[in-house]
């Protein structure tokens, strides 16, 4: 399966990227001055990919999930290229009577089997996962 994207320069260090499916996003190479930086987009992609997995797995397990947030944090190498050296995806799952064991399993399956983005990043950075379960207020 192949994929493609197109990136066009707008002005300064700002670019618009168009996915093969026709969706657009603006990126900013000037440390995120006008839009997310490319490296921020990589973290956002990892969090989005893993969240899709976790929510889907929990729904299939019939867990009453009402919210799922993932906070992605990363460390970068000093100098150039400033690649990611460590990334943590911390899931905050909210729901009524959501079993911690189900959340642990969903996060593990995403990390080990399903999330293409975080698994790919794991080939160049130490990727870790953590989670907490909350009940609705």
Give dist(CA 68, CA 133) in Å, integer: 9
Give dist(CA 90, CA 47) in Å, integer: 9
Question: In which residue ranges of the chain is CATH 2.20.25.10 found?
Answer: 1-36
pTM value is 0.94
Q: What is the token pair recorded at 45?
A: 């992609």
In this structure, whether the domain defined by 1-36 belongs to CATH 2.40.50.140 is answered with no
Each residue's pLDDT tens digit, 29-70: 998 889 999 999 999 999 999 999 999 999 999 999 999 999
Q: How many CA atoms lie within 13 A of 27 on its CB side?
A: 18
Each residue's pLDDT tens digit, 77-136: 999 999 999 999 999 999 999 999 999 999 999 999 999 999 999 999 999 999 999 999
Question: In which residue ranges of the chain is CATH 3.30.300.20 found?
Answer: 38-134
Query: Residue 14: which of 5, 31, 22 has the closest Cα?
Result: 31
Q: What is the token pair recorded at 50?
A: 């893993």
Topology classification of domain 38-134: GMP Synthetase; Chain A, domain 3 (3.30.300)
Give dist(CA 18, CA 69) in Å, integer: 26
């Amino acid at each position: 399966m192949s994929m493609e994207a197109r990136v066009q320069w707008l002005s300064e260090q700002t670019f618009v990227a168009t996915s093969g499916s026709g969706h657009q996003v603006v990126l900013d190479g000037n440390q995120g001055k006008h839009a997310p930086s490319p490296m921020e987009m990589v973290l956002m992609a990892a969090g989005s990919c893993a969240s899709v997995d976790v929510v889907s797995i929990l729904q299939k397990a019939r867990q009453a999930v009402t919210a799922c947030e993932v906070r992605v944090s990363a460390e970068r190498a000093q100098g150039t290229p400033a690649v990611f050296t460590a990334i943590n995806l911390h899931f905050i799952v909210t729901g009524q009577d959501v079993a911690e064991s189900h959340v642990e399993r969903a996060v593990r399956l995403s990390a080990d089997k399903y999330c293409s983005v975080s698994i790919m990043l794991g080939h160049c950075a130490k990727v870790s996962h953590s989670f907490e379960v909350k009940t609705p207020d």
